[in-house]
A and B are shown apart, each in its own frame.
Chain A
Amino acid sequence: EVQILESGGDLVQPGGSLRLSCTVSGVALTTYGMSWVRQAPGKGLEWVSIISAGGSRTYYADSVKGRFTISRDNSKSTVLLQMNSLRGEDTAVYFCAKVNDRWSGYFDHWGQGMLVIVSS
């Protein structure tokens, strides 16, 4: 059974940084892309970033481009999201999701999500 466990959510001041982590078990992570999706309070789902199975391809939503960096350590079955220059509009529940293929596809397994609050 695939399990995704996220950590790192916190309260951070505007302009600050935060690193989110996602650990995947029950599957050979080297075979699959991974993605981050967020959901602002009371709002819909927003795709944030995606990384290919080998880590060579990364893409970002325009809203986070230049501020967020996705990376992965397949030896630890871990995916990271480094978030810099955080803004109030980055406040959201962040979900880590497994892609069904090596880099592009649908998101077949999701973590439970963690709350990031950007506020002074």
Chain B
Amino acid sequence: EIVMTQSPATLSVSPGERATLSCRTSQNVNNNLAWYQQKPGQAPRLLIYDASTRATGVPVRFSGSGSGTEFTLTISSLQSEDFAIYYCQQYNNWPWWPFGQGTKVDLK
């Protein structure tokens, strides 16, 4: 079974600042990693797939990088609507599709 570890648990950022979120997997997942954004009371929304490809309609300030076991989601200039919880998920090694525990991005 693959373990997903996200850090930090909480990231306090001011609007306009850069936010860097980390996701580590216990096994090699190649580039088969996705990032999701979830706001309170809402369903998750796909942001990034294949580690670095933005989903349809996702602003360019969101970027993903990494491969193997180390991945990063970067928000280049945080906007007010970006305060949310972000989850990573691997889809390389089945039969598990685990999520990380999430990183909450909140207002500094």
Contact = CB atoms under 8 A, between A and B. Distances in A.
Contact of A95 (B43, B50, B91, B101): B43
| Max chain A Cβ within 10 angstroms of own Cβ: one of B85, B87, B95, B98 | B95
A44 B99 contact: yes
A100 interface: yes
A35 B96 CA distance: 12
Contacts of A105: 91
B1 to A, nearest CB: 8
B102 A44 contact: yes
A118 interface: no
B interface majority secondary structure = loop
A100 B99 contact: no
19 contacts: A44-B85, A44-B87, A44-B102, A45-B38, A45-B87, A45-B89, A45-B102, A47-B89, A47-B97, A59-B95, A61-B96, A100-B49, A104-B91, A104-B97, A106-B49, A106-B50, A106-B89, A107-B46, A111-B43
| Max chain B Cβ within 10 angstroms of own Cβ: one of A44, A46, A47, A108 | A44
Contacts of B102: 44-45
Contacts of B98: 47
Interface in B6-43: 34, 36, 38, 42-43
A85 interface: no
B45 interface: yes
A47 B87 CA distance: 12
